[in-house]
């Protein structure tokens, strides 16, 4: 047996365990969900479960609501996280030290506890409401609608996204930044021509993680979201456990997977084009 063949077999053997886990945990359940979602009440197979997602007013509202929450959250998370990462990269002082020591804390707080804390803080009878009542101010409704879901998702996603972007910005050589400043490049142009292009790959990774995390979120939307419209994760749980419609729940699950696959395909294509450009 040639050394090349031995090396190929060794590489295949090293990949097989990961592929087996991926097959059992991800691929097979997705295929099973898709097949289940195609079954109809007559015992046959068609696309009626997917047609229901777009013809039913309530379900259509849930899809639009989910996409709106996801888009707003992604934009807000990336804006805040990028601002924090840039501030920590190019500044020094006690404020920067404080941010570096504290911005990761939300990662170590379980989602249920964090959501319960938001309810106690921002609820109609929460701490903030009681404090404002002492000065004659009534707290407007913040949670139990889309604002509460967005606030919770900001809490969950900003720390991890900031960590990713900070790592990317730390890898940008200071000499590049200083050279650009020496030739008179302004802050906006410095960001658009140097900082963002050099951290674009990590930006896409962060966007992918935030998008998939928000679109599939359940804890915060279930606890502090409105009864209608609902995020797709909550809607799927209601259809499965309350109405006991397994086939329709499978259709919602597979549709959510397709939404995530769109961004995943865009990410893979962008990375492939970047690698092709380097060759």
Does 104 have pLDDT greater than 80?
yes
Cα–Cα dist 44/59, whole Å = 23
* Mean pLDDT across 181-202: 86
For helices 57-90 and 200-215, the axis angle rounded to 10 degrees is 140
pLDDT category at 10 given cuts 50, 70, 90 is confident
Question: Please, are residues 130 and 137 in contact by the beta-carbon 8 Å criterion?
Answer: no
31-67 pLDDT per residue, tens: 999 999 999 888 889 999 999 999 999 999 999 999 9
* Mean pLDDT across 151-162: 94
pLDDT category at 91 given cuts 50, 70, 90 is confident
pLDDT category at 278 given cuts 50, 70, 90 is low
Q: What pLDDT does 159 receive? A: 94
Cα–Cα dist 130/119, whole Å = 13
245-277 pLDDT per residue, tens: 999 999 999 999 999 888 888 878 877 776 666
Task: Quote the distance between the C-alpha of residue 172 and its chain's center.
Answer: 25
Does 4 have pLDDT greater than 80?
no
Does 184 have pLDDT greater than 70?
yes
Among the four given CATH numbers 1.10.3720.10, 1.20.1540.10, 1.20.120.450, 3.90.420.10, the one describing domain 57-278:
1.10.3720.10
pLDDT category at 279 given cuts 50, 70, 90 is low
Q: Percentage of the chain surpassing pLDDT 90?
A: 47
Q: Is 221 exposed, middle or buried (0-12, 13-18, 19+ CB in 10 A)?
A: buried
Predicted structure pTM score: 0.87
- Tell me the CA distances in angstroms from 105 to 12, 83, 91, 131, one per residue in order: 40, 18, 21, 25
- Tell me the CA distances in angstroms from 8 to 14, 20, 23, 174, one per residue in order: 10, 18, 21, 41
For helices 57-90 and 48-55, the axis angle rounded to 10 degrees is 80
Coil, strand or helix: which one is 45? strand
* Sequence spans of domains, the chain: 57-278
Cα–Cα dist 174/182, whole Å = 12
Any idea which residue has 């990269």 for tokens? Answer: 89
108-142 pLDDT per residue, tens: 999 899 999 999 988 888 888 888 888 888 888 88
Report the Cα–Cα distance between both ends of the chain, in Å, rounded: 33
Q: Which of 51, 9, 91 is nearest to 255 (CA)?
A: 51
pLDDT category at 233 given cuts 50, 70, 90 is very high
């Amino acid at each position: 047996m040639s050394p090349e063949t031995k090396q190929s077999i060794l590489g295949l053997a090293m990949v097989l365990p990961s592929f087996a886990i991926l097959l059992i945990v991800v691929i097979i359940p997705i295929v099973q969900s898709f097949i289940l979602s195609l079954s109809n009440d007559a015992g046959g197979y068609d696309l009626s479960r997917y047609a229901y997602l777009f013809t039913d007013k309530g379900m259509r509202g849930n899809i639009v609501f989910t996409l709106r929450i996801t888009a707003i959250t992604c934009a807000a998370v990336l804006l805040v996280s990028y601002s924090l990462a840039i501030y920590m990269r190019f500044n020094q002082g006690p404020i920067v030290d404080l941010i570096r020591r504290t911005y990761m804390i939300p990662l170590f707080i379980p989602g249920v506890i964090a959501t319960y804390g938001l309810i106690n803080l921002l609820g109609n009878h929460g701490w903030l409401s009681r404090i404002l009542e002492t000065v004659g101010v009534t707290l407007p409704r913040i949670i139990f609608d889309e604002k509460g879901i967005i606030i919770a998702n900001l809490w969950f996603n900003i720390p991890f996204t900031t960590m990713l972007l900070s790592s990317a910005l730390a890898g940008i050589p200071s000499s590049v930044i200083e050279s650009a400043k020496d030739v008179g490049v302004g802050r906006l142009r410095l960001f658009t021509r140097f900082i963002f292009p050099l951290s674009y790959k990590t930006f896409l990774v962060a966007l992918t993680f935030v998008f998939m995390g928000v679109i599939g979120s359940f804890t915060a939307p279930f606890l502090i979201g409105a009864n209608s419209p609902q995020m797709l994760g909550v809607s799927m749980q209601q259809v499965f456990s309350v109405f006991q419609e397994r086939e329709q729940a499978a259709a919602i699950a597979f549709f959510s997977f397709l939404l995530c696959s769109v961004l995943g395909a865009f990410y893979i294509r962008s990375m492939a084009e970047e690698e092709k450009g380097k060759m």
